[in-house]
Amino acid sequence: MSKNKLTREDALQFHMKPSPGKWEIQATVPMTTQRDLSLAYSPGVAIPCEEIAEDPATAYDYTNKGNLVAVISNGTAVLGLGNLGALGSKPVMEGKSVLFKRFADVNSIDLELDTEDPDEFIKAVRLMGPTFGGINLEDIKAPECFIIEQTLKEQMDIPVFHDDQHGTAVICAAGLLNALHLSGKKIEEVKIVLNGAGAAGIACLELLKAMGAKHDNCIMADTKGVIYQGRTEGMNQWKSAHAANTKARTLDDAMKGCDVFLGVSAKGAVTQEMVSNMAENPVIFAMANPDPEITPEDAHAVREDAIVATGRSDYPNQVNNVLGFPYLFRGALDIHARAINDEMKIACAEALAALAREDVPDEVAMAYGKKLTFGRDYIIPTPFDPRLIHRIPTAVAQAGMKTGVARRPIVDMEVYELSLKSRMDPTQSILRSLNARARANQSTVVFAEGDDPRVLRAAVMYQRSGMGKALVVGRDDDVKEKLAAEGLPEAYDELEIVNAATTPHLETYKTFLYERLQRKGFDAQDVHRLAARDRHVFAALLLAHGHADGMVTGATRKSAHILELINHVFDAGPHDGAVGVTAVLHNGRIVLITDTLVHEWPDENDLADIAERGAFVARELGLEPRVAFLSFSTFGSPVSERAEKMHKAPRVLDARKADFEYEGEMTVDVALNTQAQENYPFQRLTGPANVLVVPARHSASISVKLMQEMAGATVIGPILSGIGKPIQICSTVSTVNDIMNMAVIAACKVD
């Protein structure tokens, strides 16, 4: 499997486009009329202000406090980069903010404080307390981080959580619970050695001791050796709290006979000899980033019985903080918690451990690229697991309620769990699954329009994302010049540039094309011009001859014109079984609109064909199809000859015994709105339609473009289905990400 390649230019472009940074603010209330403005601000806003002043708890009802977390840093310990300062840390804090939103639907804002004085930092955060439902501290160096967090916990009545400490500790604890379960050991009995006496290391030992590990069974080491009782060099109060009664003085000494090694230190800190000296079925969590204390390969070379975890995504058992902090805060916010205590952290760890022991959903296995089952290479759930959002926060909330930190306990946990399931955007899991399939397929995709900078960037992104190989149709000098202008000069050597002047297959292509077109008014010269000079035809010929697995085009020419060109190479006409299916993603919903490309004015039999192709594409995208035949009338009202074919099309599917849900004719609001569907108890859809079959191509095109321009929907397609080869025809307004999405679908071989 290809590895994901990230270059400096990729990272800078990602943070610069489409607009600088990684998040923006949007209003959640209407702001259109004068009345809206009067309610949002003066004079209407005075009413909730008075309510909150009288009863501060109502701030959770009338403001966004209850779903707002601040990510705060002074930049003194940024990732593995050291002290970059407050401003230098901002990209990381923005990233943390969007992870909160992506994984747990928690709104978050990043705040960078320009001070290294703990007292100033504490005062600034404390004074901002009324704004937020929780505080996530990040990338603050030790020992100041201990002072800051402890003081803020004492002074504030909302959760304060330093993720570098406790986030790592929680995931580490979850994995360790399962590793000990597999090795038949108990936390109360094992000997644990931890290397790295910083914020994360100290928090790991504190949490494990709270879960039952014995003090003198836990040996901590730093760069000066073992932290033992009586040591004076390089000590502070936080290290002293974990000084063990031991004769070991070096990490090598401590590792002899130990059951568990936890590393939050540096690359190469552990040798194979140290691993050899560990007890039977050793557990090794080498969590240094970007390179672990010892690699899994080196550890397993000397100890096949070892269970190994790292902080890296390219090894099994990744200790990834994103499994913890979004869900800890989700649960804490939902009970209006005063704090996140040890019991809530332990509940999070235990819930994560329990989840890893259950059967793994197919979509998780697909995203991970292999079947996952609980065992030595799977002791921690993956971030792709859709169950995290409703399993972990419920455990955290229950622990918070039991320990008395909940201001507003949850009355019905079943209802709460259902509400959590509905919070997450289902389109994310679909897109993630498609990316995983594409990465597994390693398809060669030809990008027909190498003269467009957007297409070039998408081709580079496709290849660097480890999806497969990108072929770009274009002239070498032109592609080289455009890549350099985009700040990607080195990408020229990564991409394969193809054109008629350099291909050894041109005569084969021309012979094939001439045989198809000689009785359609094309002579040999016409065929030469098409094959040698038209990049869309040339790309289609590559695909037809198996020199590519998929094709992306349409960024520079209108789709109707491109379909005409593709028809020279493939049978993609109205009566050839071809259908254009466009996916529209908006506000957490996905609908497929058909036919957006081929059929100008389909009859009822064509509409039934279109519905079947739409249902096929839906299943390829991971959706269970619910097809609606759309009209301006619903089940015959009002009566119109123009609606008649939409009324007949479902009867055609009845005769064909179609194996998916379908209904019609109906208006779009009935198709998409379950409440509206209740007015027609006889209708057969069990939920909102996700495949919309429209009366004609023009109405399909209008619908898609209206959603794209007015609502800002993400549009993927048209997917040209029914010709046996994956062809994606994007629109001329496509962004780089839109083109990349279409390349992914082509790579998944959705055809």
Active-site amino acid positions: 96
138 is in an annotated binding site: yes
**Dihedral (Cα; 174, 179, 184, 186), 10-degree rounding:** -40
Tokens of 449: 């329009």
Tokens of 536: 């869309």
- φ, ψ at 565 (rounded to 5°): -70, -40
Residue 568 · residue 513 · CB < 8 Å: yes
3-state secondary structure of 691: strand
222 is in an annotated binding site: no
Alpha carbon of residue 123 to chain centroid: 36
**b/e 116-127 (16+ beta carbons within 10 angstroms → b):** bebeebbbbbee
- φ, ψ at 555 (rounded to 5°): -70, -20
741 is in an annotated binding site: no
* Nearest alpha-carbon partner for 381 in 396, 395, 367, 399: 367
- d(CA 733, CA 422) in angstroms, rounded, equals 32
- d(CA 455, CA 734) in angstroms, rounded, equals 9
Strand 579-586 relative to strand 468-473, pairing: unpaired
175 is in an annotated binding site: no
- d(CA 599, CA 695) in angstroms, rounded, equals 10
Question: Who contacts 511 (Cβ-Cβ below 8 Å, separation ≥6)?
Answer: none
Tokens of 444: 């060669």
289 is in an annotated binding site: yes
- d(CA 345, CA 723) in angstroms, rounded, equals 54
523 is in an annotated binding site: no
Residue 615 · residue 691 · CB < 8 Å: yes
36 is in an annotated binding site: no
**Dihedral (Cα; 266, 268, 269, 274), 10-degree rounding:** 150
Question: Who contacts 663 (Cβ-Cβ below 8 Å, separation ≥6)?
Answer: 627, 628, 629, 650, 683, 684, 685, 689
Which DSSP state fits 375? Answer: B
431 is in an annotated binding site: no
78 is in an annotated binding site: yes
User: Cα–Cα–Cα angle for 140, 142, 143, nearest 5°?
Assistant: 125
**b/e 294-325 (16+ beta carbons within 10 angstroms → b):** bbbebbbebbeebbbbbbbeebbbbbbbbbbb
> What does the radius of gyration of the chain's CA atoms come to, in whole angstroms?
30
83 is in an annotated binding site: yes
564 is in an annotated binding site: no
Question: Who contacts 616 (Cβ-Cβ below 8 Å, separation ≥6)?
Answer: 721
Q: Write the CA distances from 479 to 9, 473, 748, integer angstroms.
A: 17, 9, 26
84 is in an annotated binding site: yes
Tokens of 404: 């008395």
Annotated binding site for NADP(+): 78-85
Annotated binding site for a divalent metal cation: 138-139, 164, 289
Annotated binding site: 78-85, 138-139, 164, 289
